[in-house]
Amino acid sequence: MIALTVNGETHQVDVDPDTPLLYVLRNELALNGAKFGCGLGQCGACTVLLDGKPVYSCLVPVAALRTRKVRTLEGLASPDGTPGVLSIAFEAEQAAQCGYCIAGMIVRAQALLERNTRPTADEVRAHLAPNLCRCGTHMRILRAVHRAAEMMGGGVRAVAEREP
Amino acid sequence: MSRLGRRALLANGALVVAFALSRGALAQDTDQPELPGGLAKSPLLDSWISVGADGQITVFTGKVELGQGLKTALIQIAAHELAVAPSEVDIVTADTARTPDEGVTAGSQSLQDSGTAILNAAANVRVLLAETAAWRFALAVDQIEMRDGAAYAPDGRTIGYGELVSGASLHVAAKPDVPRREGGARVIGEDLARIDIPAKVSGGEAFLQDMRLPGMLHARVVRGPSDGTRLKQANIEAVATMPGVLQVIRNGRFTAIVADDEWRAVKALYRLQAAGWERIGEPLPAKRMREAIRGLPAQPVPIFHYPGPPAPPEAHTLTARYSRPCLMHGSIGPSCAVALWEDDSVTVWTHSQGVHPLRTALAELLGLALERVRCVHVEGAGCYGHNGADDVAADAALAARAVPGQPVRLQWMREQEHGWEPLGSTMTVEMSGSLGLDGRIVAWQHEVWSNTHSTRPTTAGGLLAGAEVEPPFVPPRPLPIRLPEGGAARNSTPIYDLPNARGTLHFVEEMPVRVSALRSLGAQMNVFAIESFMDELAQAAAIDPVAFRLAHLRDERAREVVQIAAERFGWSARGRGTGFAFARYKNLASYCAVAMDVRIDRETGEIHMPRVVAAVDCGEAVSPDGIRNQIEGGIVQSLSWTMRESVTFDTTHRTSFDWSAYPILRFPAMPGRVEVHVIDRPKQPFLGPGEAAQGPAAAALANAVAHALGIRLRDMPLSPERIRAALRPTPAAPRQAAG
Ligand code: FES
Ligand code: FES
C-alpha cells in the first residue's frame, strides 16, 4: 500500500510503486481532471499541483510523492462544490472546444494566479507554454485567465507589443 | 424528474424510437418535394424527436459532438421550433441502437443535415400537437398558441405537450412544407452556453477516456512504431506471466495485452516493443514525400472547364507551384474505446465520427451479424477528421472478445497515435494564369496532385486490425471523392468570375503512407494556392489584392464577407506585412475571409501575428458565439499547420513519433488578437462553419509573409528555417528533411 494526499485527503492505494501519479488519480481515485495526453511530459494535459507547483503527473511515480500534497482540478472547487474561480471564468468565456486540454490549462493557470494575480499578458503566455491545445482554443483560454485574474482582484497587464 | 429518470422512462418505451423504415417505403407514391437535410433518408418524426408523457423532449441525432458545440446547437434549433426553453430539451447523439444513420460527422455538414432535419421535424411536431390541441379545444388551429411546452387557447385553457402527445402519433413521415415558427421567444441566434462545457472545466465525466464500467479491464494494442512496420517476434511467454497480465491476445499479426491495471498493461507493452521492429513491404521513398507523390503515376480527373476565349497574345502569363507536406490530426488525447462482449454480441463505446459505418466494418471484422454490434458515440478529444478512433474501436472489440462479460478499455499511447493515425495527404498545386491589359484574369489553370482524402472504414479492410488478423481483410481501393464536395479537388474550382479556366486533379492511387480525411480535406491546400496566386496576379497587375478579388467576384454574399473583413481589419490603411484571403468552403457552404498582419524577425525567421480578423457567413447563425469559437479555432489550427507542421519520414517509417518530433504552435507564438465577425442570414439554410477557415487562414498568412518580406513562399510550412533561407539564400541554405 502506498499513501498519498490528494485534494486534502489521504488515500492508501495498492499499485505498483512505479505507477505514474496520473494513472493513480484516474484509475484508483476516479478523478477525471488530469488527462492522459502523451505520458512524456510534452503536452500538459495531465498537469496537477504538487505542493503548489505545476507538474506533469504522467512523469511522477506515485512512490516518489511521500508527504507532498497533490491538488487536481477537482481540488480547486470549494468544499461545498462551488467550482474554482478559473473554472467559472473558463465557462463564462466558453473557453473550450473539445475541452480535453482544459483541465491541464486551468491547473497550470491556477499556479500562476496563486503566485501573482497581476501578471503581464506575455507572462501568461510564457507560463502556459508547456500546455498544448489542438483545437486552437488558445485565445479564449487567455481571455479566461485574464477574467479569472480580475475575479481574484488582480488583472492581466497589457504590455507594448513585442517589436521583432 | 432527474435527467436519468427521464432517460429511463424513454428507454421503457414511453415513445418507442424507430427509424428503420426508409424513405422509399413511406414516400414512394407521393409527389411531395424532397424532404430537407437528414429527413430525406429518415423521414419519420420520432426518429428525430420524442415527447414523453411528462412533456420531456428528446432530440435524436446521428451526428456526434466533437467539441464543435453540436449538441447545444441542435437543442437550440429544436427548442426554438417547439417553443420551449432549451433546458427542457435532452439530446441523444449517434448510437446505432437509438439514432438515425447519418453516416459520418464531417464536412461541416452536421447543421445542414441534422440541423435542417431537426428544424423541420420540430416544426412538424409543433404543428401536430397544435392540431391535436385545436381538436381538444374545439377551436381552429390558428387560434392555438404554442409556448413554454403547452398549447394555449384564447380563453386560457391549456394542455401540456406531454398530454397532447398521447393523442398524436409522431410515428409519421415529416411533411416538407411546414412553416417555421413566427414570433415568440427567440432561441436560434442566441449565444447559449454550451451544455458540454461545465463538466469539461470541473473534472466531470466528460470523455470516453473517463468512462469507468464496473469490473473494467485495461488493454493495450501492440504494434511497430508506425504505419508500414511490424514488431519482430517477441517473447510472449515472458510477458504473459508479468504481474497483472491476464491475456496476450494474438490473431495473425494483431497483438493486444489485457491486464487488471492500466499501468501494468503499459509495462507489458513496453516489454514487447523492446524486441525491435522491421518495415513491411517496400521502403519509403528517399526523397521528400511531396516530390515522391508528385512523381507517382496519376489518374487525371477533370474538375472544371470554362471554355471561354483563349488568352490574347498580349496577355501576361504567370505560373507558380505550391505544396504542402503530410499533416497530422494530432488529437491531444490518444484514441480510446471501451468494449463489452456479451452473449456473442459486442457493444463498443467509441469516439468515431461515423458509428454506423464503423458498425458495418466491425461486424465484418468480428464475423458477427450487424444486429450483434452496437456502436455508441461518447466524446473523445478533438479529432478533426479520420484519426485513430475507428482503429482503436476495432482493437478494443478484439480484446473484449477474449474476455467475455468484462468491459475492456483500450487507449493508444501517444507514440501510437502519432505513428499510426492516417495523415492528411501531401499535395502539390500548379497554377497558371493570364492577365489582360485591363488587369483582369483572362485565363486560369489549376492542377493538383494528391493521394486520396478519405480512407474512412466502411469495411473491415479499412481498419488497422483488419490487415493484421488472420486471414487479413483487403483494404478498399481509394477513389476520388465526387464533386461538388471533392476530396483532393475540394475548393479547387475558383469562386472567381473567370472566362477561360480549366482544373485537373491528378489522383495518385498508390499510397506510400497511410492517409485519410483531415479537416477540410484538400481545401486548405487548394485555397492556399488559389489565394496566394490571386495575390501574385494582383501584384503583377499592380492592383490592391482586395480590390482585385472584388473585381472578379460576383456572388453578393461573397462580396459582403470580403468587404466586412477588409473594413473591420482597416485594410485601406494597412501597413507592411498584411495579407488577405477568402473562400467559400466547398463553393457551396460557409463564406470566410481572413485579414491579418505579421511582423517577421529577420534574425530568427519567427513570424509574429499581432492581429487576425475574420468575417464569416454560415447562413442562419444558430449560435454566433459557437461560430466564433469554431472559426477562431480553425484559424489558429490552420496557422499552426501552415507555419510549423510537417510529418517527417525516413525510408523505413514515420519519424514524427511525438510532440517533440512534430511541433505545433504553443501559446507564445499565438496571434495577439483574433476577431471573428459573424454575418447572420436569418431563414437562410444552415452552413456549418467547422472547416471554413482552414484555407483562408493559411493563404492570408502566406500573403502577409510575402507582403512583409517581398519574397513569396509557396511551400508549407512557412517555417523559420524557410524564412531564414529565403532571406539569406546561400548554397548551404538549410533544407527541410523529409516532408
Ligand atoms: S500527459 Fe503528461 S505531459 Fe502529456
Ligand atoms: S480544446 Fe481541444 S485540445 Fe484544447
* DSSP of B710-729: SS---BS---HHHHHHHHS-
Q: Could you give the strand order of the β-sheet that contains B316-324, starting from the edge strand earlier in sequence?
A: B299-307, B500-507, B441-450, B427-435, B316-324
Whether the Cβ atoms of residue B363 and residue B372 lie closer than 8 Å to each other: yes
Shortest alpha-carbon distance between residue A67 and chain B (Å): 23
For the CA of B333, the nearest atom of ligand 2: 3
**Quick one: cell of B195?**
451544455
Kind plus residue range of the DSSP H or E element containing B118: helix B116-137
| Within-domain flag for A35 | yes
Residue B390 Cα, ligand 2 centroid: separation in angstroms?
20
CB within 8 Å of A127: residues ≥ 6 apart: A108, A109, A111, A112, A119
Residues of B in contact with A19 (CB under 8 A): 261, 263
CA distances from B200 to A38, B74, B80, B345 (A): 19, 19, 26, 32
Residues A59 and A116 in one domain: no
| Cβ contact, residue pair B196, A99, below 8 Å | yes
CA distances from B627 to A30, B590, B609 (A): 34, 11, 22
What torsion do the CA atoms of B362, B367, B372, B373 make, to the nearest 10 degrees?
-10
Report which bound ligand comes closest to the CA of A106. Answer: 2
Whether the Cβ atoms of residue B522 and residue B492 lie closer than 8 Å to each other: yes
pLDDT at A162 over 80: no
End-to-end CA distance of chain B: 57
Closest-CA residue to B451 (of B487, B493, B494): B487
Nearest CA in chain B to A42: B659
Q: Which residues of B528-561 are buried (b: 16+ CB within 10 A; e: fewer)?
A: bbbbbbbbbbbbebebbbbebbbbbbeeeebebb
Whether the Cβ atoms of residue B333 and residue A37 lie closer than 8 Å to each other: yes
Nearest CA in chain A to B330: A134
For B401-463, strand residue ranges (E) read 408-411, 427-435, 441-450
Whether the Cβ atoms of residue B78 and residue B123 lie closer than 8 Å to each other: no
Whether the Cβ atoms of residue A32 and residue A26 lie closer than 8 Å to each other: yes
Residues A30 and A93 in one domain: no
**Domain B427-453+488-726 is found in CATH 3.30.365.10:** yes
What span, in angstroms and rounded, lies between the C-alpha atoms of A157 and A160? Answer: 10
Q: Is the CB of A133 under 6 A from ligand 2?
A: yes
Q: Is the dihedral of CA B97, B99, B100, B106 positive or negative?
A: negative
| Cβ contact, residue pair A94, B668, below 8 Å | no
pLDDT for the residue B31: 53
| Within-domain flag for A126 | yes
Whether the Cβ atoms of residue B649 and residue B738 lie closer than 8 Å to each other: yes
Residues A57 and A105 in one domain: no
Strands B316-324 and B299-307: unpaired
pLDDT for the residue B235: 84
CATH number, domain containing residue A23: 3.10.20.30
Residues A26 and A43 in one domain: yes
Architecture in CATH of B208-280+329-420: 2-Layer Sandwich (3.30)
Residues A68 and A131 in one domain: no
What span, in angstroms and rounded, lies between the C-alpha atoms of A162 and A164? Answer: 6
Shortest alpha-carbon distance between residue B670 and chain A (Å): 8
Structural domain ending residue among the three candidates A14, A41, A76: A76
Residues of B in contact with A7 (CB under 8 A): none
DSSP state of B258: E
What span, in angstroms and rounded, lies between the C-alpha atoms of B323 and B633? Answer: 23
Residue A45 Cα, ligand 2 centroid: separation in angstroms?
10
| Within-domain flag for A25 | yes
Q: How many structural domains does chain A have?
A: 2
**Domain extent at residue A10:** 2-76
Nearest CA in chain A to B691: A135
Interface test with A, best of B65, B66, B202 (most A CBs within 10 A): B202
**Quick one: cell of B617?**
457567413
pLDDT for the residue B454: 95
| Within-domain flag for A159 | no
Nearest to A39 among B68, B380, B413 (CB): B413
Report which bound ligand comes closest to the CA of B664. Answer: 2
CB within 8 Å of B31: residues ≥ 6 apart: none
Is it true that B3-165 and B208-280+329-420 share their CATH fold?
A: yes
Q: What residues form DSSP beta bridges with B385?
A: B518
> Between A163 and B217, where is the model more confident?
B217
Query: What residue's CA is closest to ligand 1, atom 3?
Result: A41
Nearest to A73 among B203, B243, B264 (CB): B203
Report which bound ligand comes closest to the CA of A20. Answer: 1
Strands B408-411 and B373-377: unpaired
Q: The cell 501519479 sits on which residue?
A: A21
Q: Secondary structure of B357-392 in the HEC alphabet?
A: HHHHHHHHHHCCCHHHEEEEECCCCCCCECCCHHHH
Residues of B in contact with A162 (CB under 8 A): 608
Residue B610: other Cβ atoms inside 10 A: 14
**Quick one: cell of B119?**
428544424
**Quick one: cell of B165?**
402527445
Residues A106 and A125 in one domain: yes
Residues A89 and A120 in one domain: yes
Report pTM: 0.94
What span, in angstroms and rounded, lies between the C-alpha atoms of A52 and A116? Answer: 13
Nearest to B610 among A91, A98, A161 (CB): A161
Shortest alpha-carbon distance between residue A149 and chain B (Å): 17
What span, in angstroms and rounded, lies between the C-alpha atoms of B131 and B137? Answer: 10
Residues A9 and A69 in one domain: yes
| Cβ contact, residue pair B333, A128, below 8 Å | no
Residues A64 and A92 in one domain: no
Residues A6 and A72 in one domain: yes
What span, in angstroms and rounded, lies between the C-alpha atoms of B737 and B287? Answer: 9
Q: How many CA atoms lie within 13 A of B3 on its CB side?
A: 7
| Cβ contact, residue pair A126, B668, below 8 Å | yes
DSSP state of B483: T
| Cβ contact, residue pair B659, A38, below 8 Å | yes
Residues A134 and A69 in one domain: no
Structural domain ending residue among the three candidates A46, A76, A106: A76
- Domain B3-165 class? alpha beta
Structural domain ending residue among the three candidates A54, A76, A98: A76
pLDDT 10s digits, A58-111: 999 999 999 999 999 999 999 898 999 999 999 999 999 999 999 999 999 999
Shortest alpha-carbon distance between residue B529 and chain A (Å): 23
Report residues of chain B scoring pLDDT below 50: 1-30, 733-739
* Rounded to 5°, angle at Cα A66 from A65 and A72: 45
Question: Strand, helix or coil at B439?
Answer: coil
| Within-domain flag for A143 | yes
Residue B575 Cα, ligand 2 centroid: separation in angstroms?
33
Report which bound ligand comes closest to the CA of A94. Answer: 2
φ/ψ of B507, rounded to 5, equals: -85, 115
Residue B351 Cα, ligand 2 centroid: separation in angstroms?
15
CATH number, domain containing residue A105: 1.10.150.120
Whether the Cβ atoms of residue B146 and residue B130 lie closer than 8 Å to each other: yes
| Within-domain flag for A163 | no
End-to-end CA distance of chain A: 55
Q: Is the CB of A48 under 6 A from ligand 1?
A: no
| Within-domain flag for A162 | no
Nearest CA in chain A to B694: A136
CA distances from A72 to A3, A41, A47, A88, A108 (A): 17, 17, 8, 16, 10
Residues A71 and A89 in one domain: no
**Quick one: cell of A9?**
485527503
Domain boundaries, chain B: 3-165, 208-280+329-420, 427-453+488-726
Q: Which residues of B193-229 are buried (b: 16+ CB within 10 A; e: fewer)?
A: ebbbbbbbbbbbebbbbbbeeeebbbbbbbbbbbbbb
CA B401 to chain centroid = 31
Question: Strand, helix or coil at B87?
Answer: helix
